[in-house]
Amino acid sequence: MFDTLDFGTLITVFLVLVVSITIHEAMHAFTSHWLGDSTAKDEGRITLNPIKHIDPYLTLLLPLITLIVFKVPLLAAKPVPFNPDRVKFDEFGAALVGVAGPLTNLGLAAFGAVFLKLFQGDLSLAVTDVVAIFVIINIGLFVFNMIPIPPLDGSRFLYAFAPDPLRRVMESLENVGIFIVFGLVLAVPAFTDIISNLNQQVLDFLL
């Protein structure tokens, strides 16, 4: 994602990740509350305070290490708790909670892309670079989180339509799925190519 890294770029990536993930997780919490489940609200997760949403190791340390080593920031936020039995529309409600975060990132990326288009000739190179990083990271968060492997958000959407045998397989992956995804990203070039191509297609569409 990032071929050249310097201290300024690392700081920018770090800040953009924190902001984008905070909004992502807050939208999960807001959507679950809107659909009738107060679990996230009771734990104070409907907030733009990043401290409530970040995990010091998986959200802060891990992406910096993987960005430096692999040029791709891999991370996981503190999961937003919700009770799928309490939301409206059953599995479809749970699917809405799941996709709320990634769709928010897509909306943020679209906003950044429109901003670049509208003010392209008036922005300094530094501002252009920051907004471009903002767009790229939010596209990456959208595409990555929509991978339909538990516990990623895309799996909640798949749950709504999957037959029972597939659901049981997905449930068995809830606790280890994130490690499977990280392993695929870091060790399977074909998987990484698919993710990169999807990122690029979304970027091309927005720009």
The closest of 180, 172, 107, 171 to 147, measured between CA atoms, is 180
By the 8 A CB rule, do 74 and 182 touch?
A: yes
Q: How far apart are CA 31 and CA 87, in angstroms?
A: 9
Q: Which residue out of 25, 43, 91, 171 is catalytically annotated?
A: 25
Within 10 angstroms of residue 135's Cβ, the number of other Cβ atoms is 24
Structure tokens at 19: 């902001």
Residues in the chain, overall count: 207
Burial class of residue 204 in the structure, from the number of CB atoms within 10 Å of its CB (0-12 exposed, 13-18 middle, 19+ buried): exposed
The DSSP result for 104-125, as a single string, is HHHHHHHHHHHHHHHHTTTS-H
Task: Give the contacts of 133 (CB within 8 A, at least 6 positions apart).
Answer: 9, 12, 13, 16
Catalytic-residue membership of 171:
no
Active site residues: 25
